[in-house]
Structure formats: structure tokens, C-alpha cells
Amino acid sequence: MNVQQQARLLRAFRNVHRISGATLFVFFFLIAFSGLMLGWKKHSSGYLLPETQRGTTAELQQWLPLSTLKAKAVQAVEAQLPAGTATEVDRMDVRPGKGVVKVRFEGHYWSVQVDGASGEVLQIAKRRSDWMEALHDGSIIEKPLGISGGYFKLLYTTVTGLALLSFTITGFWLWYGPKVLRRSKRKR
């Protein structure tokens, strides 16, 4: 590759780098910020992700049925959160080693931790990390726009992933290209 071709390539990479950066700045900022928060979620003293409580026993034979634990969590939401808060269960995270079941609900970020053996509600807390995760992967946009099936999330992660790959390649060339160009000029 001659010097003029190298210079042209360097200019093209600089343009791609600049235009991509300006176009996707907000998305990269949100991804970086939310990624940082997600990395710290277990070390946020319960602010981003409520700390897992301890139940009375890890012996599953002594636990109540999951249906009973689910009902206790739903009762807790109905009793302690504002009227109309959704009570449809999204998932139940069973932690046998800690003797607890974490119950998460559809449509909001509150969760209830229930003692597996006694059914006692150990904690009702907001899972801010779930909101951060939805911001991080773009799925936070799907519900307000009425998009289902995860297609916006797929498009969002594809575009930002390819842009990050493009930044990596063009950024490397913006660093390395001038060195190659100088070497080529010296040889002439």
C-alpha cells in the first residue's frame, strides 16, 4: 500500500470513528453508565440489588410448597405496596443454601424474599439493578413503544455491538496508522 492509499485509509477511518461516535454518543454513555452500575450491584450495600436474606433452614424437606411461598409474597405486596401494584409473579429464585426464595413480579421492580421453611416475609425491596439491566440492554424502550418479542433489544445490541467493534478497529488504526505512514515516508 502506498503512502497516499495509507493516508486515504486513515482519513476514512477517522471519519467513521468521528461520525459513529457523534451518532451513538448517548447510547454508549448509557451502556457505559449502566454497565458500571451493574458491575457494582452486589457491592452497593443493598441499594441496587437487595442483599439476600437468610432463612431458617437450607433443608428443602422442611420447606413449604412453592405455591404457598408465592401466595405469601403476593400477600406482602398487596399489604405493603400501593394499591394496584401488580402481583403477577415473573419468577421465583430459589436459594436453598440461604433458605430463601426471592419472588419477582411483572411490571415493576419490587421483590419479596420469603423464608422457605416458615413462609415469613424477610424483605420487600426494590431491585434497581433490574431497571439498570433493562437500560443496559435496551429492553427498557420496548414496553413504552409497544414492541414485543425482543426485536428492539436485538437491534439495539447489534447496532451498539457493531459500533463498538468499529470503534475498536478504527481507534486502533488511528493510533497505529500514523506510525505506518511515518515509516513509509522515511523509506522514500
Q: pLDDT digits over 109-160, tens only?
A: 999 999 999 999 999 999 999 999 999 998 888 888 888 888 889 999 999 8
Q: pLDDT digits over 3-23, tens only?
A: 788 888 888 888 888 888 888
- Distances in whole angstroms, Cα of residue 58 to Cα of each of 69, 71, 171: 15, 20, 52
Query: Can you list the alpha helix ranges (DSSP code H) found in 45-150?
Result: 66-80, 128-137, 142-145
- Domain coordinates of the chain in residue numbers? 1-47+129-134+149-188, 50-126
pTM of the model: 0.77
C-alpha 48/C-alpha 53 separation (Å) is 15
